[in-house]
Chains A and B, each alone.
Chain A
Amino acid sequence: MNHDLGKKATLEGVKYVRNFINNDNRNFTGLQKSFRSDQISKKKKLGRVLLYIAVVLICVTILAPYTWLIISSLSYRVDLTAIPLHWIPQKINLENYREIFFSSTGASSPNRDLRYGFLNSLIIAVSSTLICLFAGTLAAYAFTRLNFKGKKPLYLLILITQFLPLAVLIIPLYVIMKNLGLLNTRLALILADCSFILPMMIWLMRSYFMSVPKDLEEVARIDGCSRFGTIFRIIIPLSTPGLTACGIFAFIIAWNEFFTAFILSSTLKSKTISVLLSEFSSKVGIDYVAMASAGVIASLPPVIMALVFQRYIVQGLTGGAVKG
């Protein structure tokens, strides 16, 4: 491709011109040389300083809001409502976290209800992820390696579904779930999540499968492996990073999902932690500390997964989208 030729040419060109410049330098007097290199290094230094300032700005912009949320969740109201604001609390407040995790007796409280929300979110996210990984991998294999009638329009259809706003699906989904008696069940939320995560899974998995060389499968099939067998023995083991990336992706998206969970659930039986959080303000009023701690708890799983597996997620995001 053009790139390779261009690369070679530019490498040669760079070498030649560099030599030329170096030779030139030797003809300057000592004073002029040192002055010139001083100028260059001053400019470089300024550039480096500006770069580090920009990097620090970026880090602060990303970390500050979330850090403030965490600090708020650990403060006493006295510190948060003080004017001027106490950025670092004088005493650490673990009351809300204690209530969320450990309280067991007494009447229900918004904090304790968070446990149900957490559990629901976990079950729904994990189930959606597993279902979509399973169905998506099989479908992606079909689109990558097999040829069948209607392959192109079908794939186009799947791509287009990714651009549908939830609003247009939620009304009939509500009606369908109502008729099936599935309103306010975890199953309904799992199905709803699958409906928009699956097309994305197929799209991403397909681009991973395309990078698995065909020859390996041919060899395996000559050795007597069935076509179905090659999926499980060759393709899947080789695309484990891709599968992991998609799985993490799906989990985070399912966990963070709000709109469908909000519409399809009505009691603690199926409400996800996102939904509970959206109602928190009406339950705890102006208890900012409780709101903050609930927010931190709700965000911990996806944030931890994202930070720990960030390489996979980046691969997942860029592998599919950029290659198209």
Chain B
Amino acid sequence: MSQIPRTHTSLMERSGVLALILLLPSAIIIFGLLIAPMCSSLMISLTKMDLLNPLTSREFIGLSNYIEAFQNPLFWAAFGKTWYFALFTVLIETGLGIGVALILNQDFRGRSFVRGLIILPWALPYVVNGIMWKWIFDANYGAFNGLLSQIGLIKSYQIWLGNPVAAFHIVIFANIWKETPVAVLLILAALQSVPKELYEAARVDGATGLQCLRKIVLPMLKPVIMVVMILKTIWALKEFDLIYVMTKGGPADATNVLTYYIYQNTFKFLKFGYGSALAYILTLAAVGLVMLYIKNLLKEQELES
């Protein structure tokens, strides 16, 4: 590569200055709207910012909010529900993602049509998704009741969203329906990078389809599956919109996951300090997970090299 003569390096040519200019707009947005709020959030979480008692606002109370959270059974209930939600969602979405991706990787007529169709649930706004499933599971006239009773599986219409356990799992299902396409697309892309000759060679050696799957495909998919699982867990931990639209945390707090609990405490009970502490606990959980993943990834890279 030829060297560019550096006799007249204008200001714009120097890497440092150019980088500064290029990064400026992003820096303003990210620092102003992400980093600053994050720090501010930390500060608020250390105060007793209760908008119902303005006299005690901004009173520095250290870690009291955090301690209050850890002593509050409601917090632990929400915490537990969040992790159940995340675990259930991730496991099923990943499993379904692999299954559907494997199917979509086969040759069949109309394949590109179906592959294009897959993106539909992801494109739906969260609120529309919530309304749609709420309507389908409506107690009086919902399609689910209608279908089941027409087939003869139930005698009378059930109040699905009124039953705490059922409601929780319906919300999980609605989330899975919307989010699985992303997993499918990611895994499908990885599947497509597996050269076809590997399959043929294994087939010729007498390997059945199942053996092909276990010995060839799954090992090659491991990195993608890890990415998918981590992304999905983080997104599941963040889920709020669906719960607000479908059940508003109910029935009887059945779907009151941590994000909804944070919303309740902050914008309904106006306990900004407590809410901020809760939000930070959630953040630490999410970031902790990412750190674990990065550690794992680095370890694997070390083993490979």
Instruction: Enumerate chain A interface residues (CB-CB to B < 8 A).
Output: 3, 6-7, 10-11, 13-14, 17-18, 21, 48, 51-52, 54-55, 58-59, 61-63, 65-66, 68-69, 72, 80-81, 83-85, 131, 134-136, 138-139, 141-142, 146-149, 151, 154, 157-158, 160-161, 163-173, 175-176, 191-192, 194-196, 198-199, 202, 215, 218, 221-222, 226-228, 252, 255-256, 258-259, 262-263, 273-275, 277-278, 280-281, 288, 291-292, 295, 298-299, 302-303, 305-307, 310-311, 313-314, 317-318, 321-322, 324
Interface of chain B, main secondary structure: helix
The answer, yes or no, to whether B128 is at the interface (CB within 8 Å) is yes
Q: State the CA gap A142–B19 with chains docked (Å).
A: 5
The answer, yes or no, to whether B69 is at the interface (CB within 8 Å) is no
Residues of B within 8 A of A7 (CB): 195, 197
Q: Assuming A138-B23, A298-B128, is B186 touching A317 (CB within 8 A)?
A: yes
Closest chain-A Cβ to B82's Cβ sits at a distance in Å of 10
Closest chain-B Cβ to A138's Cβ sits at a distance in Å of 4
A-B pairs with lowest CB-CB distance, top 5: A85-B146, A306-B123, A195-B33, A318-B189, A172-B37
Q: Assuming A227-B18, A258-B241, is B282 touching A171 (CB within 8 A)?
A: no
Q: Is B18 a contact partner of A14 (Cβ separation < 8 A)?
A: no
Q: Is A277 a contact partner of B128 (Cβ separation < 8 A)?
A: yes
Closest chain-B Cβ to A121's Cβ sits at a distance in Å of 9
The answer, yes or no, to whether B279 is at the interface (CB within 8 Å) is yes
Give 15 A-B contacts (CB < 8 Å), ordered by A residue. A59-B117, A69-B128, A81-B141, A141-B22, A149-B16, A163-B290, A167-B238, A171-B44, A175-B40, A192-B33, A199-B30, A227-B13, A274-B125, A303-B120, A318-B186
Q: Is B287 a contact partner of A163 (Cβ separation < 8 A)?
A: yes
Q: Is A302 a contact partner of B124 (Cβ separation < 8 A)?
A: yes
Q: Is B37 a contact partner of A173 (Cβ separation < 8 A)?
A: yes
Interface size on B, residues (CB 8 A): 102
Interface of chain A, main secondary structure: helix
Q: State the CA gap A218–B2 with chains docked (Å).
A: 8
Q: State the CA gap A53–B181 with chains docked (Å).
A: 19
Q: With contacts A135-B29, A306-B122, A322-B186 known, what are 18 further pairs, Cβ within 8 A?
A: A6-B195, A48-B108, A141-B22, A146-B15, A149-B16, A151-B19, A161-B35, A164-B287, A165-B259, A165-B282, A170-B266, A192-B33, A196-B34, A256-B125, A258-B240, A288-B141, A295-B131, A310-B119
The answer, yes or no, to whether B67 is at the interface (CB within 8 Å) is no
Q: Is A228 a contact partner of B34 (Cβ separation < 8 A)?
A: no
Q: Is B186 a contact partner of A194 (Cβ separation < 8 A)?
A: no
Q: State the CA gap A256–B241 with chains docked (Å).
A: 10
Q: Assuming A165-B259, A258-B127, is B177 touching A65 (CB within 8 A)?
A: yes
Q: Is B127 a contact partner of A277 (Cβ separation < 8 A)?
A: yes
Q: Is A139 a contact partner of B23 (Cβ separation < 8 A)?
A: yes
Residues of A within 8 A of B106 (CB): 51
Residues of B within 8 A of A52 (CB): 108
The answer, yes or no, to whether B167 is at the interface (CB within 8 Å) is no
Over the window 111-137 of chain B, the binary record of Cβ atoms lying under 8 Å from chain A Cβ atoms (1 yes, 0 no) is 000111111111111111001110110
Q: State the CA gap A176–B198 with chains docked (Å).
A: 57
Please provide the chain B residues from 125 to 156 with a CB less than 8 Å away from any CB of chain A in the complex: 125-128, 131-133, 135-136, 138, 140-141, 143, 146-147, 149-150
Q: State the CA gap A298–B61 with chains docked (Å).
A: 44
The answer, yes or no, to whether B100 is at the interface (CB within 8 Å) is yes
Q: State the CA gap A222–B272 with chains docked (Å).
A: 58
Q: Is A222 a contact partner of B4 (Cβ separation < 8 A)?
A: yes
Q: Assuming A72-B135, A202-B26, A226-B12, is B279 touching A165 (CB within 8 A)?
A: yes
Q: Assuming A58-B114, A171-B272, A321-B186, is B132 touching A228 (CB within 8 A)?
A: no
Q: Is B204 a contact partner of A18 (Cβ separation < 8 A)?
A: yes
Closest chain-B Cβ to A170's Cβ sits at a distance in Å of 8
Instruction: Write the chain A residue with the least CB distance to B37.
Output: A172
